[in-house]
């Protein structure tokens, strides 16, 4: 919560004051998080390999220190060039302390309870905006954005760093051929010969769905307005997302011993195109608007859990960091591009084209999910 709340959400809360003080356009302001994700995409694979071999403790401690330093530097910037440069440092710090590395670290120490632990981490992490949006707004109004960033920097040193130091083991657990079962009732590592194709399908599935999730979350209120709902109705409907997503993740935790990760993924992949069909078919009606938001929130809530737990079910725990690192490359890229793509579609093609493009991407995600499920469950052929 500290990691995401003190970095990614900064432009959305304090951006107006930052842009005014530094005399820079909104495009440069919001380029910060984009740079953060691109840097994360470049560094995630080597970080994943290091975590598999040596554990996450030292990297996450270093990430907390670099995160604090980056926020101190961000509080001192005087123009757009130094602003952009500091976001490169924030991207380096981010890949060392949150996201993929935190999931791998938790999987290493949670053992066979990893799936439930990762689902819980995703649920709690989803509260980051709930806490840091009002916190940042209040501090910004009372103390200004520069002082707020200094306070956020201190949180990395006073909260995150001690947790990384005292909770995480000094070294990674010893390598073992035992699968990362994660409490999944049907999970087993796929045969080595199938892993390249499994990885490709998994990357396509998560990326094609990911660009929809990122863009829809950013533009959901505007999409609902464009469908004909009033501003008040659009805000009320969009506000349903948070509680529904958290509820879905809690249900996933409760049913982890009965429902396989793959089945959770398929449920989420089906819910997304159905949600978009409601928007395309009768999105202007209140019932369709509710259905769109509810089904989208269900799919998005499951996606956040599946992204971390499905690779754990498919690959060996000793290689979890490696595969998560490589998966972070396309996922970070689509996350960085989604705001630009959605802005262009909404401006040039309107809401209908945007929802149609999302539907096509959602169908691609569903098809690859089904193919992934069949390939993962098929027994490898005998040699000779």
Q: Name the phi and psi angles at 192, rounded to 5.
A: -55, -35
Share of the chain above pLDDT 70, in %: 92
Answer yes or no: same fold for 2-167 and 192-377: yes
Q: What is the CATH number of domain 192-377?
A: 1.20.1250.20
Residue from 187, 173, 177 nearest 108 by CA = 173
Q: Which of 42, 158, 160, 60 is nearest to 102 (CA)?
A: 60
What pLDDT does residue 378 have? 61
Sign of CA pseudo-dihedral 32, 37, 41, 44: positive
44 versus 64: the higher-pLDDT residue is: 64
Residues sharing a CB contact under 8 Å with residue 231, sequence separation 6 or more, in sequence order: 225
Of 259 and 160, more confident? 160
The overall average pLDDT reported for the chain is 85
Q: What is the mean pLDDT of residues 44-58?
A: 88
- The matching CATH number, chosen from 1.20.1250.20, 3.40.50.80, 2.30.130.10, 3.40.50.720, for 2-167 is 1.20.1250.20
For 151, 195, 298, 360, the CA distances from 207, given in Å and listed in that order, are 35, 18, 18, 13
pLDDT score recorded for residue 69? 97
Name the more confident of 193 and 31: 31
Listed range (60-64, 117-121, 199-203) with the worst mean pLDDT: 117-121
Residues facing residue 264 across a β-bridge: none
Domain borders along the chain are: 2-167, 192-377
Count CA within 13 A, CB hemisphere, residue 210: 21
Structure confidence by residue, pLDDT tens digits, 337-368 = 887 888 788 878 888 899 999 999 999 999 99
pTM: 0.77
The band of 172, judged by pLDDT with boundaries at 50, 70 and 90, is low
| CA–CA gap between residue 57 and residue 62 (Å, rounded) | 9
For residues 48-57, give the mean pLDDT: 86
């Amino acid at each position: 919560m500290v990691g995401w709340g003190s970095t990614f959400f900064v432009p959305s809360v304090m951006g107006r004051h930052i842009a005014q003080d530094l005399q820079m356009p909104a495009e440069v302001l919001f380029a910060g998080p984009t740079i953060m994700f691109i840097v994360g995409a470049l560094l995630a694979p080597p970080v994943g390999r290091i975590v598999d071999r040596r554990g996450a403790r030292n990297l996450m401690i270093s990430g907390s220190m670099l995160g604090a330093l980056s926020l101190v530097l961000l509080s001192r910037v005087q123009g757009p060039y130094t602003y952009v440069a500091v976001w490169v440092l924030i991207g380096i710090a981010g890949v060392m302390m949150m996201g993929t590395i935190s999931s791998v670290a938790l999987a290493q120490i949670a053992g066979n309870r990893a799936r439930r632990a990762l689902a819980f981490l995703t649920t709690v992490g989803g509260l980051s905006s709930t806490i840091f949006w009002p916190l940042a707004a209040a501090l910004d109004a009372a103390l200004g954005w520069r002082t707020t960033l200094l306070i956020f920097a201190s949180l990395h040193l006073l909260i995150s760093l001690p947790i990384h130091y005292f909770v995480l083991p000094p070294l990674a657990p010893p390598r073992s051929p035992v699968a990362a079962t994660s409490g999944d009732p049907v999970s087993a590592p796929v045969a080595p010969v199938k892993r390249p194709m499994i990885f490709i399908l998994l990357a396509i599935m998560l990326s094609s769905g990911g660009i929809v999730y990122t863009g829809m979350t950013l533009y959901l209120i505007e999409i609902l307005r464009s469908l004909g709902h009033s501003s008040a109705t659009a805000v009320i409907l969009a506000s349903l997302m948070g509680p529904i997503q958290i509820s879905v993740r809690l249900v996933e935790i409760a049913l982890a011993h009965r429902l396989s990760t793959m089945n959770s993924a398929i449920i989420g992949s089906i819910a997304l195109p159905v949600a978009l069909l409601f928007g395309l078919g009768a999105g202007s009606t209140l019932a369709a608007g509710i259905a769109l938001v509810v089904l989208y929130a269900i799919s998005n809530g499951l996606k956040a859990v599946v992204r971390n737990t499905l690779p754990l079910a498919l690959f060996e725990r000793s290689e979890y960091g490696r595969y998560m690192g490589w998966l972070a490359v396309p996922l970070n890229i689509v996350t960085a591009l989604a705001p630009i793509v959605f802005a262009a579609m909404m401006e040039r093609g309107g809401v209908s084209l945007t929802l149609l493009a999302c539907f096509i991407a959602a169908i691609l995600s569903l098809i690859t999910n089904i193919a992934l499920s069949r390939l993962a469950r098929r027994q490898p052929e005998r040699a000779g």
